[in-house]
Amino acid sequence: MTELPKRLLIIAGSDSSAGAGLQADLKTAQAFGVYAQTVVTAVTVQDTGGVRAVHLIPSEIVRSQIEAALGDIGVDVLKIGMLGSGCIASAVDDALNDIDLPLVLDPVLLSSSGTRLLDDEGVEILKSRLIPRALLVTPNLPEAQALVGILPNSDYSLRNAIKAFTLLGAQNILFKGGHGEGDMVRDTLVSDGQQTIFASPRQQTRHTHGTGCTLATAIACGLALGQSLPDAVAGAHAYVQNAIRTAPGLGSGNGPLNHQI
């Protein structure tokens, strides 16, 4: 009998350029051999130059999508990306209320071009309800600052940010270093009181659209495949670096990655 594939449920927004959001998540899951279902929270109009418009999906439709996925095919691991509003964030949390599954939470607050992708109410629901629920939270440096008021760009500020996220109920945190400075990109995993750094040379390229989405989904795929959290993060970090290195060079702005590696 053929073994069934592992199942990932992605809750996120659609990117019409297919560089980020659900489209990048699906391509990532395919590369890892994981079956992905999708819950669409928003439809964005965007290209490599930025986000032009956002249409939010009604919260009851978002919740119904989650229930449909859980009730039929089933789910092994969850990944949450763009939520868009407090109403949608609340509906997602309510739909997952009785679900005990590993959750990777990518707290999408702004697009790469600076468009706001979550309202104030949504930020508060992230902090009070979804961060404590998540196995792993994956903020980049600006997202960490927006959530806890601390930019973790030094050893001292990182320690304070860790304390602040812990007070929010975060179980494990991955601080993504792509927005940092220096010749190396350092992703710092905080788990079980320990810090593990995943470092790679910073690539001088404009083709980095969707790196956060891709990284979080790759981690979720690793967890679905039975890897430990540190191993899943290590594999995801390497995957994203290769995806940037071999990017197809599309678009005139912040171009997409190569997910087919």
Q: Which residues are catalytic?
A: 176, 208, 210-213
Residue 31 · residue 260 · CB < 8 Å: yes
DSSP classification of residue 97: T
Taking 3-state DSSP, the helix, strand and coil percentages for the chain, each rounded to the nearest 5, stand at 40, 25, 35
Phi, then psi, of 77 in degrees rounded to 5: -140, 150
Backbone angles phi, psi at 163, to 5 degrees: -60, -40
CA 83-142-170 angle, 5° bins: 65
Going by their DSSP bridges, the two strands 184-191 and 194-201 should be labelled as antiparallel
Residues 6 or more apart from 251 whose CB is under 8 A from it? Answer: 17, 19, 47, 48, 49, 209
